[in-house]
């Protein structure tokens, strides 16, 4: 029974990794670079939310802290805006040409720069301490057959999977989605067909910003705690999840996220909290030894297979 309880908790936790892993995998699959701004964007949603509930709006526009739900919506918008800012100044501004591996180092390094800038800006404005986030539903649990299922956690898993399903159908079924996938496959030919790369790449950053922001909000609601570093642990595990599932594959990232979540809670249960990282990265190595392209990856890394 206890093990079942751990698996249930792992599924919920996996929901958070799923969204972040999908954000990573979209960027890798489409633009072939590991976006280091994903952890701070996740954090910006939570920390902006906390800042607004604690201090209220800047310039004395509000009378003390604002409602937590409104604050988190603003946090989500801030995450999306931050992601678009990253697009403008890493990808679009510094990008020279597609296709050459050395040139992918430029967005990679500049996104690393953005990671530090975002993190330190938040440190200066809101401090480095972990902060308690005030949500009213600490103990909204369902109990059946001796199992405890937290309603917020369950809702969060559903939101996470629903968002990914929506994204997947958008990629398959809409003109923008088709353009996005064709850029993932071949940006040059896409341009020749009239797909506007400069219009569609920001859409992808908007989507990844919203995914990370939403994940940050879900995390905040479930753990009631935020800090300037909250994104780092989650993002590291999401990267593991993405690699387990196969680079550039959305449903692979979903499977990977859930696997990592469950492995994490089971590892705590059987071996204690210190063993989480060994278990997660150990599973990753095992998967890579058996299937180097990941569970659902194709043979060519990072190319057009969302």
Partner 1 sequence: MAAPTNSIMSFTGVHKSFGGLKVIDEVTFDVVRGSRTALIGPNGAGKTTIFNLISGIYDIDIGKITLDGTDITHTPIQGRIGHGISRSFQNIRLMPHLSTIENVMLGQHTRARGTVDLFKPLGWGPGRRWAEMAEDALKRFGLETYPGQVVGNLPYGIRKRIEVVRAMMADPKILLLDEPAAGLNNQETTELQNLLRQVSDQGVTLLVVEHDMHFVRSLCEQVVVLNFGRKIFEGTPEQVHKDPGVLEAYLGTGNAA
If one asks whether residue 236 binds partner 1 (CB under 8 A), the answer comes out as no
Pick the piece of the chain touching partner 1 (CB under 8 A) from 80-88, 147-155, 194-202, 285-293. 194-202
Among 190, 220, 249, 267, binds partner 1 (CB under 8 A): 190
Give me the residue label for tokens 């920001």: 202
If one asks whether residue 301 binds partner 1 (CB under 8 A), the answer comes out as no
| Contact partners, residue 108, CB within 8 Å, separation at least 6 | 33, 34, 36
Any idea what DSSP says for residue 67?
P
The separation between CA 142 and the C-alpha centre of its own chain, rounded to angstroms, equals 27
Among 96, 193, 273, 290, binds partner 1 (CB under 8 A): 193
Q: Is 295 in contact with 248 (CB distance < 8 Å)?
A: no
Q: What is the CA radius of gyration of the chain?
A: 19
Among 203, 236, 266, 301, binds partner 1 (CB under 8 A): 203
- In angstroms, give the least distance from the CB of 301 to partner 1: 13
Nearer to partner 1, 121 or 186 (CB): 186
Among 18, 38, 66, 195, binds partner 1 (CB under 8 A): 195
If one asks whether residue 181 binds partner 1 (CB under 8 A), the answer comes out as yes
Among 123, 133, 148, 276, which residue's Cα sits nearest to residue 218? 133
| Contact partners, residue 268, CB within 8 Å, separation at least 6 | 6, 275, 276
Helices of type H across the chain: 2-31, 38-55, 68-86, 93-94, 101-126, 151-173, 175-185, 187-192, 197-223, 230-245, 250-271, 276-290
Nearer to partner 1, 178 or 277 (CB): 178
Binding-residue total with partner 1 (CB under 8 A): 27
| Spatial distance between the Cα atoms of 71 and 50, rounded to a whole number of angstroms | 7
**For the chain, how many residues are written?**
306
Which residues ranging from 5 to 24 are in contact with partner 1 (CB under 8 A)? Answer: none
If one asks whether residue 185 binds partner 1 (CB under 8 A), the answer comes out as yes
Nearer to partner 1, 128 or 196 (CB): 196
Among 175, 272, 273, 274, binds partner 1 (CB under 8 A): 175
Which string of x and - marks every residue 135-174 that binds partner 1 (by CB under 8 A)?
A: -------------------------------x--xx-xxx
Among 252, 306, 261, which residue's Cα sits nearest to residue 283? 261
Token pair of 59, please?
Answer: 């310039």
- In angstroms, give the least distance from the CB of 304 to partner 1: 4
Nearer to partner 1, 122 or 200 (CB): 200
Binding-site ranges for partner 1 (CB under 8 A): 166, 169-170, 172-176, 178-179, 181-182, 185-186, 189-196, 203, 298, 303-305
């Amino acid at each position: 029974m206890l093990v079942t309880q751990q698996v249930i908790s792992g599924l919920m936790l996996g929901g958070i990794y799923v969204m972040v892993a999908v954000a990573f995998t979209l960027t890798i699959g489409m633009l072939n670079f590991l976006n280091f701004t994903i952890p701070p964007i996740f954090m910006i949603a939570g920390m902006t939310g906390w800042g607004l509930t604690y201090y209220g709006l800047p310039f004395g526009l509000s009378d003390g802290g604002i409602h937590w739900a409104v604050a988190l919506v603003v946090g989500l918008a801030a995450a999306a805006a931050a992601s678009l800012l990253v697009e403008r100044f890493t990808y679009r501004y510094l990008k020279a040409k597609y296709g050459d591996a050395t040139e992918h180092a430029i967005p990679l390094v500049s996104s690393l720069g953005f990671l530090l800038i975002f993190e330190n800006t938040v440190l200066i404005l809101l401090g480095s301490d972990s902060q308690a986030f005030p949500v009213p539903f600490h103990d909204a649990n369902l109990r059946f057959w001796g199992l405890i299922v937290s309603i917020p956690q369950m809702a969060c898993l559903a939101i996470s999977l629903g968002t990914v399903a929506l994204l997947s159908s958008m990629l398959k079924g809409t003109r923008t989605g088709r353009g996005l996938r064709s850029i993932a496959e071949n940006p040059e030919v896409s341009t020749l067909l009239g797909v506007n790369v400069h219009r569609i790449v920001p859409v992808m950053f908007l989507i990844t910003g919203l995914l990370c922001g939403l994940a940050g909000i879900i995390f905040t609601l479930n753990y009631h705690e935020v800090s300037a570093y909250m994104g780092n642990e989650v993002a590291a595990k999401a990267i593991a999840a993405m690699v387990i599932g196969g680079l550039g594959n959305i449903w692979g990232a979903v499977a990977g996220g859930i696997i990592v979540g469950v492995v994490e809670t089971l590892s705590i249960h059987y071996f204690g909290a210190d063993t989480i990282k060994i278990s997660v990265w150990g599973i990753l190595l095992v998967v890579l030894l058996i299937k180097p392209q990941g569970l659902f990856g194709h043979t060519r890394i990072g190319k057009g297979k969302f």
